[in-house]
A and B are shown apart, each in its own frame.
Chain A
Amino acid sequence: MRLRRNLTTLSFLAPALIGIAVFFVYPLLSAVYFSFTKFDLLTVPQWVGLANYRRMADDPYLLQSIRNTLWMVVVFVPVRIISAIGLSMLLTQIKRGAGFFRTIFYLPALAPPVAATIAFVYLLKPGTGPVNTFLGHLGIEGPLWFNSPEWSKPSLVLLGLWGIGDIMIIFLAAVLGVSPSLYEAASLDGANAWHRFRYVTLPSIRPVILFATVTGVIYTLQYFDQAAVAGSIASGQAVTGAGISSSFGFPEGSTFTYPLWLYTVGFRYNALGYANAMAVALFVVALAVTVILLRRSKAFSGEDQ
């Protein structure tokens, strides 16, 4: 009887267990092993010990890609979260057409990243783009956006703000879930709107802020599509298929995120051992961020709630 029950349970879990073993555990262990070897698509891995990790220390492009990714973590993630909270607060304050506004703000988040990036590079084109033309009418000389090393990452942030809908929806649910009696109590104590937000709303949605921060950092660590396409289209190469990696990082390496450099090392220069060393380093960072979430968040506990 018990054996039969265990077999039934196993029949539910078998596909997922195989999936975790074949597409997660095995490649992860492979990556660790490969990171101590040197090989390309045509040669057999040769053991080189810590050489790949030593090479990471004096790879100028790697350092630049880490700086770029860190910039995205420090700027992109907080800007997106703060804007999403602001937008969700605005939506809760609106009576007329709330559903309409919610849909407008949410939909861009579903747009294919490649399509959205092409649209934004085109909108922000330095010479003839509508945004700079419009700024010109106002007597402002617009920046070079995706074509200048200083402005390329801020342009990606703008693109990220357009696709803010996914986290906005999460915050909207959280803000609407705050108990009205708390607001009433605060008002009786003479709290104004800012106080109510600061002492009632914010503490209530703190777990959601943590969740959004962690998932935001994870998302930024794997940020690839938009940076790749923006570099290609802005450089005038205008390719999103094969050959795109030749324009990675445009302009001047400013859009070289860590995953972009990893991809270049592995699939353009075929330095597969070195690429795996970079992958292991990325795994360690991502795991550390995940552990923070697991230890601080209830939703992820394995227990029934």
Chain B
Amino acid sequence: MTTLLERPPRTVAPTDRQVRRQNRLAWIARHSLAIVLAIMFLTPVGYLLLISVMTSDQALTSDYWPNTWHFDNYVRVFQVTPLPRYLLNTVIYAVLATAFMLLSSVPAAYALAKLRFRGRNAMFLAVICVMMLPPQVVTVPLYLMWARYGLTGSLTPLIVPMLFGDAFCIFLLRQFLLTIPSDYLDAARVDGCGEWRTLIRVVLPMARPGIAAAGLFQFFYAWNDYYGPLLYTSENERSWTLSLGLASFHGVHHVDWNLVTAATVLAMAPIVVVFFFAQKAFVQGVTLTGVKG
């Protein structure tokens, strides 16, 4: 995210006025297009924000602008449904999945990137295959496996597997670790560090940006996950995550769209916050270690 966008070098030397005018027109056209597109990209979110502070009745009309502003909708969503519970479940899932994934995937990625052993390529191929496999292929056998131990209806079947690595994150971390020069590791080994110590003392500090990236991907994935929670928790509302509980705002005769949109905004907000917060950490990591990801 650090690279400033370079423009391809000027190709035509602006000698006469015509060329300059043409360039200026092109500049205006490009920026206008970008602005129009940016407005279009922002519209859905802006519109959600406006609907979320309307009354329930006005949210059913075609109005763009709230007649009266009801910021209390954001308080009400927590009162009229088990939203606090959904939020807590989502946080538990995202945080534990991310922590477990890092614990199990970093060593595996390190071995695949920096250690020589027989069967390394086969193992890497297996990781790629798991990464590319649509989850629906193994859904039924896995569901039956968890059901046998009575663990369906909870988030356990989504969190526990993370203790055993996540294929996409292993792949991502490996690609990052390949960029770390092996000289550093050799130096550590010559100094008498074992492999684990080399990993923890030498590699981890240098791999911070890669680890941050993998952790973020996993966190966002779990936060946004719908298929997994639907499969394993839909039978037990106490384990629902945000994505399952988002649209459970029914009035007497109709859907309370103002509350649905408020909950939707609440589901999106942490992602935006984490992104801006982590973007900085990410940039810092890249500049601090001097490793270009």
CB atoms of A225 and B196 under 8 A apart: no
A contact residues around B123 at 8 Å (CB): 13, 16-17
Contact of B287 with A by CB under 8 A: no
Q: Within 8 Å of chain B (Cβ to Cβ): is A199?
A: no
Contacts of B144 in A (CB 8 A): 30, 272
Q: CB within 8 A of B128: which of A112, A294, A303? A: A294
Q: How far is the CB of A171 from chain B (nearest CB, A)?
A: 13
Asked if residues A92 and B31 are in contact (CB atoms below 8 Å), the reply is no
With contacts A104-B41, A119-B264, A290-B132 taken as known, whether A225 is within 8 angstroms of B170 at the C-beta atoms is no
Return chain B residues, CB-CB under 8 Å to A75. none
Within 8 A of B (CB), among A206-233: 218, 221-222, 224-225, 228-229, 232-233
Q: How far is the CB of B218 from the nearest CB of chain A, in Å?
A: 13
Chain A positions within 8 Å of B42 at CB level: 104
Q: Which residues of B contact A24 (CB under 8 A)?
A: 126, 129-130, 133, 138
Contact indicator A112/B242 (Cβ below 8 Å): yes
For chain A, the count of residues having a C-beta within 8 Å of the partner chain is 103
Query: Is residue B247 contacting chain A, with contact meaning CB distance below 8 A?
Result: yes
Is A63 positioned at the interface, with any CB of B under 8 Å from its CB? no
Which residues A23-64 have CB closer than 8 A to chain B?
23-24, 26-28, 30-31, 34, 41
- Is the C-beta of A115 less than 8 angstroms from some C-beta in chain B? yes
Q: Does B165 contact A (CB under 8 A)?
A: yes
> Chain A's nearest CB lies how many Å from the CB of B145?
7
> Besides the contacts A19-B161, A115-B268, A122-B51, what 14 more A-B pairs have beta carbons closer than 8 Å?
A19-B104, A19-B163, A31-B138, A92-B7, A108-B44, A123-B43, A187-B11, A196-B11, A238-B255, A240-B245, A241-B248, A283-B137, A289-B132, A290-B129
Q: Give chain B's interface residues, CB within 8 Å of chain A.
A: 3-9, 11-12, 30-31, 33-34, 37-38, 41-45, 47-48, 51, 60-62, 64, 103-105, 107-108, 110-111, 115, 117, 120-121, 123-130, 132-145, 147, 161, 163-165, 167, 170, 175, 178, 194-196, 199, 220, 223-224, 226-227, 230-231, 234-235, 237, 240, 242-248, 250, 255, 257, 260-261, 264, 267-268, 271-272, 275
